[in-house]
Copies of this chain bind each other. A is one copy, B any other.
Amino acid sequence: MLGKTQHFTEERSVEAVLERNAGCTDERLREIMSVLVPHLHAIVKELRLTPEEWLAAIQFLTRTGQISSDRRQEFILLSDCLGVSMLVDAINSRKIDEVTPSTVLGPFYVDGAPHLPMGAMIAHHGRGEPLFVLGRVSDEHGLPLENVELDVWQTSEDGFYDTQDDSQPDMNLRGVFSTGSDGDFWFRSIVPASYPIPSDGPVGDMLKALGRHPMRPAHIHFILRCAGYDTLTTHIFIDGDPYLDSDAVFGVKDSLITPLRDPTTEERRLYSLPEGCQCLSLDFRLQKEALNPMTGARTVAGLNGAPT
Contacts and interface: CB of A to CB of B under 8 A. Distances in A.
A22 B211 CA distance: 8
Contacts of A42: 39
Copies assembled: 2
Given A2-B100, A31-B47, A83-B16, A250 B61 contact: no
Contacts of A30: 210
A10 B87 contact: yes
A7 to B, nearest CB: 5
Nearest to A36: B43
A255 interface: yes
Interface string A11-55: 001101100111111100111110111011111111111111111
A302 interface: yes
A132 B138 CA distance: 80
Interface of A: 1-10, 13-14, 16-17, 20-26, 29-33, 35-37, 39-55, 58, 61-66, 68, 73, 75-76, 79, 82-92, 97-101, 209-212, 236, 245-247, 250-256, 258, 282-285, 294-295, 297, 300-305, 307
